[in-house]
Amino acid sequence: MPHCRLARALIVALPWSLWLLAGCTASPPAPGASLYQRLGGQAAITAMLDDALGRIAADPRINQRFGAANPDHLKRNLVDLVCARAGGPCVYKGRNMSDAHDGMLIRDDEFDAMMDDIAQSFDKFDVPARERREALAILGQMRGAVVGH
């Protein structure tokens, strides 16, 4: 069951006792649940994006783009952004995407590489197809504000 594998994978982000309580005994989110809830909440989003940022840092197609970035700041902003846009309680306090990427001249292939790295992390955590599509769509909506500025 994908939900159980995600719960097991969260051992990285959650204390052992919480994992035992929430692990495979937890029922899947309700059908009308927000994307935030269906992804597993903030701890799950954090774990998936932490994995994705590790992939991005190791990806020779784009890692040079992140050399000057503060990894903790980047992670916090990315988690808050996805969490908020997925219907969670987080508040994104970072700059708007156009301003944050102004002058970087990011190319489409670089944006695609980042999306690929994130998608691979979703695959690792067995994110169901519907949630994967919705989460990647949230990030994909930023293409116009990131690419070419």
The DSSP output letter for 147 is: B
Percent of the chain surpassing pLDDT 70: 81
b/e burial code for range 45-59 (CB count within 10 A of at least 16 → b): bbbbbbbbbebbeeb
Do residues 69 and 21 lie in contact, with contact meaning Cβ atoms separated by under 8 Å? no
Domains and CATH numbers, the chain: 34-146 (1.10.490.10)
User: Distance (Å, rounded) from C-alpha 96 to C-alpha 141?
Assistant: 13
pLDDT category at 65 given cuts 50, 70, 90 is very high
Q: How many angstroms separate the CA atoms of 118 and 116, rounded?
A: 5
Mean pLDDT (the chain) is 85
User: 99-145, pLDDT tens digit by residue?
Assistant: 999 999 999 999 999 999 999 999 999 999 999 999 999 999 999 99
Residue 119 burial (CB count, 10 A): 17
Share of the chain above pLDDT 90, in %: 75
Residue 1 confidence (pLDDT): 47
Q: Specify the higher pLDDT residue, 31 or 82.
A: 82
pTM (two decimals): 0.80
Instruction: Examine the pLDDT at 9 and tell me if it is beyond 60.
Output: no
* 142 in Cβ contact with 99 (< 8 Å): no
pLDDT at 79 over 80: yes
Rounded to an integer, what distance in angstroms lies between the CA atom of residue 99 and that of residue 118? 22
pLDDT of residue 68: 86
Q: Which residue has the tokens 């990427």?
A: 101
